[in-house]
Amino acid sequence: MNIFNIITILTILSAGFAFINTKFLKLPFTIGLMIIAIVFTIAVYILGSFNPFILEEANLLINSIDFETVLLDVMLSFLLFAGALHTKLDALKRQKGPIALFATIGVVISTFLIGTLMYYLFLAFSYPIDYIYCLLFGALISPTDPIAVLGILKEANAPKKLETKIVGESLFNDGVGVVVFIVIFKIAQQGLDSMSFGDVGLLFVEEVIGGIALGLIAGWLAFRLMKAIDNFETEVMITLALVMGISALAHYLHVSGPLAVVVAGIFIGNKSPEIAWSPNTQNYVDKFWELIDVLLNALLFVLIGLELLIVSLDNTYVIFGVFGIVISLLSRFVALSGPVALFQKKLDFIPKTNLIMTWGGIRGGISIALALSLEPQMGRELFLTITYLIVIFSIIVQGLSIGPLVKKVISKSGVNNA
């Protein structure tokens, strides 16, 4: 199946599912689309039992899509840039301390907690998995998705300082999580003996510092180009070229593309409206990236729903998946506890910040993409199933209940929306 037909089918499905959700279900956009996609996939399974041709064609479609490449090399940069473009630096500056710790130390602690607990869980069930592969799973499931929860928090009228923490952390922990995953993945491939602690540290620093530097340089160059002209068509094209150029260059330089895109997006989004863009240009740039954001999210969450076709629902895997849900939530709660306690009084956190951030830390497509990148000997099929179950639970159950949880906490504490 050629690429045009694949994109056409996915776009038609996304538009149809979006219409059904908007007209009838009226659920938050991403959650509604994924629920409909899952129901659609189950229907394909049922129809396929009567007519195998239907199931064969559906499997052909899914197997024709390299989900890992599509998300990590294409979609992720555009989605992160769209989110970063509308993230105000003033709000991030006030919360820079906790956000930095959440997105770095928090990800590392979560990775090791999840990896260690899963390792002993497998041993308890006499299903031993190498510890390094369990750490790989911990790294891929620790990043959270800023897109899925943002709209829900706004509907719940969540305080801005809480929204900033969750979204700010998610924008950066995607990049850090991918870096941690890459480092552990190389150790798993080459063996711990072949890499010293210094090699690991250098690789991490190169990815992170290199990504941030690339984002700042590319963002500044794009800003200077847009400042020199006043033409919204050209300036929209410059932002598009910026994202694509950063993605390609980051891959060539072996630095973190996600971090580079986030930094560039924040730089452009905060610097350009005041200096480089006219009101007309800002309106067009905002609308363009909002449309890109909506379209790619629609495709992404429909894809996640359809991925059910390739996930093994072995009973043992499902049991591990249920335990994985509990372990991932518990580990995130513990990983966030230190930074929350450290900044609790200084920044006047709302009550139960740790609980809300734990439940609001929704996992998304990046975790599935990283699970798909595992090699067969790393427990790929097992960890893909566990990851899929955690992501589904996270998006549907946590996504639908985070709003009521925030409203309940706000009403009880009398917190305003500042």
Tens of each residue's pLDDT in the chain, 418 residues: 788 998 999 999 999 999 999 999 998 888 899 999 999 999 999 999 999 999 998 988 898 898 888 888 889 899 999 989 988 888 788 888 999 999 999 999 999 999 999 999 999 999 999 999 999 999 999 999 766 666 566 666 677 777 788 888 888 988 899 999 999 998 998 876 767 778 788 888 899 999 999 999 999 999 999 999 999 999 999 999 999 999 999 999 999 999 999 999 999 999 999 899 999 999 999 999 999 988 998 999 899 999 898 898 899 999 999 999 999 999 999 999 999 999 988 877 888 899 999 998 899 889 999 999 999 999 999 999 999 999 999 999 998 898 888 888 878 776 666 5
The structural domains of the chain, with segments of one domain joined by +, span 67-413
- The number of CA neighbours under 13 Å toward the Cβ of 114 is 35
Tokens at 287, concatenated: 């609308």
Third-level CATH fold of 67-413:
Na+/H+ antiporter like fold (1.20.1530)
Long-range CB pairs of 123-130 (<8 Å, 24+ gap) are: 125/316, 125/319, 125/320, 127/316, 127/320, 129/379, 129/382, 130/188
Please tell me what DSSP assigns to residue 398: I
Distance set, CA 311 to CA 12, 58, 141, 305 (Å): 23, 14, 16, 11
Of the candidates 106, 169, 114, 174, the one whose C-alpha atom is nearest the C-alpha of residue 365 is: 174
Burial class (CB in 10 A: 0-12, 13-18, 19+), 217: middle
